[in-house]
Structure 1
Amino acid sequence: MTLPRPLRFDLLMGLLGFSSGLLLWSFGLYTTGDRLLDQRWAPLIPLAVMAVMEALRRTLPRTALAVGTLAIVADQLTNGNLITILMFTDLVYAAVVYGPPATARRVPYTTGLVTVAVTVGFLVWWQNAIALLVGALTGMISFMPAMTGAVVRNHREAAEAARLRAEQTALLAEMDRAQAVVAERARMARELHDMVANHLSAIAIHSTAALSLDEPATTRQALTVIRENSVAGLSEMRRLIGILRDSSGDTEPAAAPTLAALDALVDQARANARPSGLDLVLEDTRESAAGLPAPVELAAYRIVQESLTNALKHAAPGEVRVVLGREPKALTVEVTSRYGERPGPTAPGSGAGLVGMRERVELLGGAFEAGPVTDHDGRKRWQVRAELPMDVRDEEQA
């Protein structure tokens, strides 16, 4: 097993700590006296060990803290060195900030318990207020660095979570933008086909007639039709170019989506969801797709759209099934996806989508359910189910 290389800054920290401690030792500046090991060289051993652990504070934070704890205990058996104590506080801080999540949770609790135990133990032993001072010093070199590290780590994790949310929001916004571009291109294609193409077809037909027939009256009539269609086509082209340059001049309302466009919606969502390990399946069990009021079609489309968006954001890898069914008096929409943890940082959800779907269904007088269910295989899935009554007027807003 290859040990990770210490970082340059940590190496400098360890070297600086050892040099500073050596300087204090050379002047005979100790933290205390009359200890078990009162030889002059004894404080240098914990100092050297602590300096080495300081160089490993980020690459091996747990190991550095464990060995550093032994070194600080050994330092208490000597005359002591202030730099050894300061480097130990940095090891405690680094273990919380750079260590695994479990270590970051345990170190503050452990150091807190040690501080309390030392204080109570010396109070019972000495029965003197000096024991409180010893407890306070113990807390300053162990518990306070751990709590400082916990605060810093929480801030960093919050900042990272905010960054991930921003990236996910930007990704979803880009997906919405791409869908809007596709929809706009389709609308412009319809405009060109329905308006401009008709004019060009008429021009082609009448120009052919004018060239093939040598009759002045027929030629004149054909040229008149050609001119009218040319002017109309040019006007439509100018309008379309104006729309492309500035959509504010387009006052035509966009057509409401229907279930006929559901295949395209699922295909687009399938392409977006493929990197997340989602497999989208559309199952239409209706015998006939005719006879649905426009508000019902719009509500069903939006429910499927929002459910697929939620699956893209939250569903675990697996199948996402969209089922359309028709009962005697209602259209049923059911979307199921795998329920559970999914890899990889996660967005944060506000629940506004479920509220919006429920409101759509309630406006039509239907029934709506959303939540985890257990299928016949015993697996948990997230299911959205809506029953949309078909006895509504087309004037109603879905």
Structure 2
Amino acid sequence: MTPKIPRPHRDDVLLCVIGVATGFLLWALGVHTNSTAHLLPHWATLVPLVCLGALELVRRSHPRTALIVGTVGVIADQFTVGSLATVVIFTDLMYAAVVYGKPAMARRLPVSTGLITVVVTIAAVAWLRTPQSLLIGAVTGLVCFAPALTGATLRNHREAAVAARLRAEQTALLAEMDRSQAVVAERARMARELHDMVANHLSAIAIHSTAALSIDSPATSREALGVIRENSVQGLAEMRRLIGLLRAAGAETEAVAVPSLDALEALVEQARTNGSASGLDFVLHDERAPGADGDGDAPLPAPVELAAYRIVQESLTNAVKHASPGTVTVRVSRCDTLLRVGVDSPHAGRPTGPRAPGSGAGLVGMRERAELLGGSFTAGAHGAAGATGTMWRVRAVLPAEERATER
């Protein structure tokens, strides 16, 4: 199967027609480049002209072949009366070879034509020994070196433009990837926040509603309904706060209060109320130095304080749902540049009484909160079954410095 010959570009066809027509017009008018007499007839100058004009049709598709044949043609033109149109067409073939040729040829042609110009100039001066011999070198430079240099300059500009466009596209792609990652991270943060705020209240509602339905006692039902109402109101308030945060994103509104470790006492008291029906008691040991004045600890960064609060909140929620009757201990301490959070709950045997189902998302959320701040998180059962039974231990170590939160 013969290879398909590419169709010439319309601009190349136009150059071919104009070049050949101009050459015929100059020949008809008797305008020649060589004034000395030649053995060949005057019409012989039309042969190189037509050949180089035809090469214009393949200046884009076969630039190397066009330049080689064109060089032979322009040399042959010097043995005739000569045509200015033939020389001009050759300069365009040289230019096209640099612009459309392979990168190696585009790099070599300006250098080689420059060396040829220098060599021809030196040879002409040495041979003729007249100032006019410098014109030979100048003409040589105009015919071969100047178009090669012009083509190289244009090609460099085009390659620079292509590289700039690729960089812009890559930058836009990276920006889109960053935006997508930011959206995913924000969704994960919202999921953690929603889970930590609502799961505690819904778990208490599920446990006490189950108790009210399973125990036929007016007093128990009234107490359970009271706890259900309290958790419903608090859960609704938390949902409204989250909706307010979402609506206020990017707007100039008042800052919404972020939960802090100072509210741990109220959080433990609420867990004590929710877990009383399951035989649970809750104790808080806050071993941090009081305040940030004098010898007290410096204030914690807001992200660290929020993460610690949510870890305690989720641990208490899990204790209400899954812990066996006993005492749940919450311990918060700070030493040097670390904040340590620990929650221990009884985990002996299968829990009795009403329980709410769990999805496991709470442990994932706590681990994500700790790791996003550069801290660590562990959770699991410890101890051997016996009089005290095993304990479910939650441990989180968070950095207490501002630089640690800038990740």
TM-score normalized with structure 2 length: 0.59
Counterparts in 2 of 1:254 and 1:70: CA distance versus 1, 3 Å: farther
| Displacement after TM superposition at 1:224 (Å) | 2.9
Gaps of 5+ in 2: 259-301, 306-335, 339-398
Q: Is the 8 A contact 1:37 1:79 kept in 2?
A: no
Change (3 A) 1:79 1:169: same
1:154 to 153, 156, 160: 156
Q: Which string of whole-angstrom CA distances, capped at 9 and with x for unpartnered residues, describes residues 241-281 of structure 1?
A: 3444444567865569xxxxxxxxxxxxxxxxxxxxxxxxx
The 1:396–1:220 alpha-carbon spacing in structure 2 relative to 1, beyond 3 Å, is: closer
Partner of 2:42: 40
Q: CA deviation at 1:217?
A: 4.3
Match of 1:132 among 127, 134, 139: 134
- Distance in structure 1 (CA, Å) of the matches to 2:187 and 2:85: 70
Structure 2 CA distance, aligned partners of 1:40 and 1:255? 95
Residue aligning to 1:119: 121
Residue in 2 that maps onto 1:303: none
Rounded Cα–Cα distance in structure 2 between residues aligned with 1:166 and 1:255: 38
Q: CA contact under 8 A between 1:96 and 1:149: conserved in structure 2? A: yes
Counterparts in 2 of 1:72 and 1:294: CA distance versus 1, 3 Å: farther
Q: Judging changes above 3 Å, is the alpha-carbon distance between structure 1 residues 44 and 243 closer, same or farther for their aligned structure 2 residues?
A: farther
Among candidates 230, 233, 237, match of residue 235 of structure 2? 233
TM superposition shift of 1:196: 1.1
Structure 1 residues 35 and 105, CA, compared in 2 at 3 Å: closer, same or farther?
Answer: farther
Residue 193 to residue 294, structure 1, CA distance change in 2 (3 Å): farther
Query: What does the per-residue CA deviation read over 1:27-74, in whole Å, with 9 as the maximum and x for residues that have no partner?
Result: 222223324354121111111111111111111111111111111111
Superposition RMSD in Å = 2.8
Pick the aligned partner of 2:26 from 24, 27, 45.
24
Question: Which residue of the other structure, out of 107, 111, 118, is the alignment partner of 1:109?
Answer: 111
Provide the C-alpha distance between the structure 2 equivalents of 1:204 and 1:40, rounded to a whole number of angstroms: 109
Structure 2 residue matching 1:59: 3-state secondary structure = coil
1:178 is matched with: 180
Residue identity opposite 1:168 in structure 2:
Q
Matching residue within 195, 198, 201 for 1:196: 198
Tell me if structure 2 keeps the 8 A contact 1:12–1:55.
no
Instruction: Give yes or no for the alignment of 1:168 onto 2:164.
Output: no
Asked if 1:85 is matched to 2:111, the reply is no
Residues 1-398 of structure 1 mapped to structure 2, 5 A cutoff: 2=3, 3-210=5-212, 216-248=218-250, 254=303, 395=401, 397=403
SS in 2 for 1:239: helix
Aligned equivalents of 1:49 and 1:214: distance in 2?
Answer: 110
Identical aligned residues as a percent: 60
Residue 90 to residue 209, structure 1, CA distance change in 2 (3 Å):
same
8 A contact 2:52–2:86 mirrored in 1? yes
Aligned to 2:370: none
CA distance in 1, matches of 2:99, 2:256: 56
Q: 1:198 to 1:146 in 2, by over 3 A?
A: same
Give how far 1:105 is off. 0.9
Cα 1:189/1:87, change in 2 over 3 Å = same
> Does the 8 Å contact 1:46/1:84 carry over to 2?
yes
